[in-house]
Amino acid sequence: MRRFLFPLGLFFSLVCLLGAGLRLNPQEIPSPLIGKPAPAFALAQLALPDKTFGPQDMQGQVWLLNVWASWCTACRQEHPLLLELAGRNQVSIVGMDYMDARADGAKWLEKHGNPYRLSILDSDGKVGIDYGVYGVPETFVIDKRGVIRLKLAGPVTAEIIEKKLLPLIKELNRA
């Protein structure tokens, strides 16, 4: 009997290792940008095409950069939550309309409501690449010094807002 103990133990530890691997979410790619300054850009605003916006304009504030698009279905899902979050007046949310047409983006905001302090248009996705965006929606938390502190891939949920976003925003606001 004892001679089976070792192989059996080995087998179970392998099962545990593979089981843990299955539970990991391969869609969640750790961002190398965490703890680094938000990449600079100057993009035209969605509503005011002749005005630009860049991260330097938010210096001294904690803010969210939410990447969205009118063609993105998961953005529809998180939109009501963003509207509610904006309503609490705890943090400014800037939208980045990603690989979209200006008219489509504007129409989408008109139809579903606008949680953003302003939106910028990244029509060819170049700034998106600088931020390592690989799907929409994605949300970045940027602190007062312009450093990226958190990246959320996929739609935010009520739970993420309560347990992750708001506590982090509070902490960053105190700093």
Query: Site residues (CB under 8 A) for other proteins?
Result: 26-27, 29-33, 99, 124-126, 129-132, 134-135
CB of 21 to other proteins, least distance (A): 12
Distance CA 100, CA 133 (A): 14
CB of 125 to other proteins, least distance (A): 5
Give the residue with the Cβ less far from other proteins, 54 or 132: 132
Give the residue with the Cβ less far from other proteins, 95 or 128: 128
Give the residue with the Cβ less far from other proteins, 17 or 175: 17
Give the residue with the Cβ less far from other proteins, 100 or 143: 100
CB of 123 to other proteins, least distance (A): 11
Q: If DSSP codes are grouped into helix, strand and coil, which group holds residue 139?
A: strand
CB of 29 to other proteins, least distance (A): 5
CB within 8 Å of 44: residues ≥ 6 apart: 50, 51, 52, 120, 121
Distance CA 98, CA 77 (A): 17
Give the residue with the Cβ less far from other proteins, 15 or 129: 129
CB 54 within 8 A of CB 40: yes
In the chain, beta strands by DSSP E: 43-44, 52-53, 63-68, 92-98, 118-122, 138-142, 148-153
CB of 62 to other proteins, least distance (A): 23
- Residue 79: closest CA among 34, 121, 110, 104: 110
